[in-house]
Each structure stands twice: as C-alpha cells, then as structure tokens.
Amino acid sequence: MLFSSPPWESAVYWSLDLETGGLDARRDAILAVGMLPVREGHLRLGEAYRTLVRPEQGKAVSPRSVQAHQLVAGDTRGAPALAEVLPELERRLRGAVLLVHHAPIELGFLKRAFRAAGLRWPAPPVVDTVKLLLRLDARERRRFPELPADPPVLNLSAARRRLGLPDYQAHDALTDAVATAELFLVLREALGARRLRELT
C-alpha cells in the first residue's frame, strides 16, 4: 500500500493561512487569505495569492483578534466578499494537497465557508505541520528517552525557531503561509518522508 502513494515531491502543495475574527468558525469572520504553492519541493513565491476578505453580515471580529492581525473594518470594507474569494481557493486546491498549520482551525473555517456559499468542498488531501511536529517529537523521544518530558513546541513561530528557521512577522496570511511551507520542507526532510502518504 505504501508504494501506491506518489513520491512526495510529485504533489503540488498549496500552503494556506487564514486571518480570522476569532477561532470559532460558526461565529467569526474570515478576514484575509494567503496561499502559495510548493512544486517539486520548492516554494513558488511568484504564484502566491493573497487577498483581504469583506466580513459576512453578522460575522464577528473580536478585539483580541484585531490585536493579532491588526486588520480593522476600514481595511476590509472594500475587499471582495468571501463568495468571490472561494472560487479562487477552489481552483488552486483542485488536484492539489492543502498544507496548513493546525488543520482543525483552518478546515473548520474553510468547510463552513464553502457550505454557506453553496459550493462543494474540494476535499483535498491535507498535510498539517502540527501533526508532523508531533511525529518528529515522538520519534526523538523514542530515540532519546532521556529527553525532558516537556510538551512539544507547536506554535508556528516557536517551532520554526526551534528548527533553525528565521522569525517572520506573524498574523499576516501570506507570510504565515510562507512560514508554514518552509516549516513543512524542514519537517519533511527531518522525518525522511518519501511518499505523500507519509505526510498526510
């Protein structure tokens, strides 16, 4: 079964990040989307996609989220509506792999948005860098049982720092998508994954 999975670098991965009005997909707005592809193991910055999103009527934006992403109502007032943005996401995800950091949050917002817009969720295979971090941590603990029992580092910025990647300004959708894509490549190498199946 392992060999029925394609080589990892033959897949196209779209790294995606959302900036939202909170963490509750039922209540909070999507405010920004950032995406860029990883093709043949390389980030393609020239194909990056980023947009602000005009919040849907009745969707919330918490003050705490504004502190993080710094997006205020004036920034998104003239932005495209979510219903205009979703086809752009669907076009990129068709036949590709979705790459995210902490999939339950991003998938919650995405699936709900597609459903609310009457669009079919494309259901791409998903690679979650948080899952890869947990796998790497578990492997290290098997190899080095004397390691302290500290919880694994799962925050995107902190995990990057631990693995020797540079700090970026957090909570910008495209910057976080780039940060996730770079982290993915480092984790893929560290885990020695050769097939897509080993990453999903």
DSSP-assigned beta bridge partners for residue 16: 35
What pLDDT is attached to residue 3?
56
Distance of CA 9 to the CA centre of its chain: 18
Lowest mean pLDDT among 34-48, 51-65, 102-116, 163-177: 51-65
Give the pLDDT of residue 1.
45
What residues does 54 pair with on adjacent strands?
A: 81
User: Does 89 score more than 70 pLDDT?
Assistant: yes
- Mind listing the domains of the chain with CATH numbers? 9-193 (3.30.420.10)
175-191 residue pLDDT tens: 999 999 999 999 999 99
Q: How many CA atoms lie less than 13 Å away from 25 in the CB half-sphere?
A: 15
Each as own residue / partner, the long-range contacts of residues 139-145 (CB below 8 Å, 24 or more positions apart, any chain) are 139/191
pLDDT digits over 139-157, tens only? 998 988 888 888 889 999 9
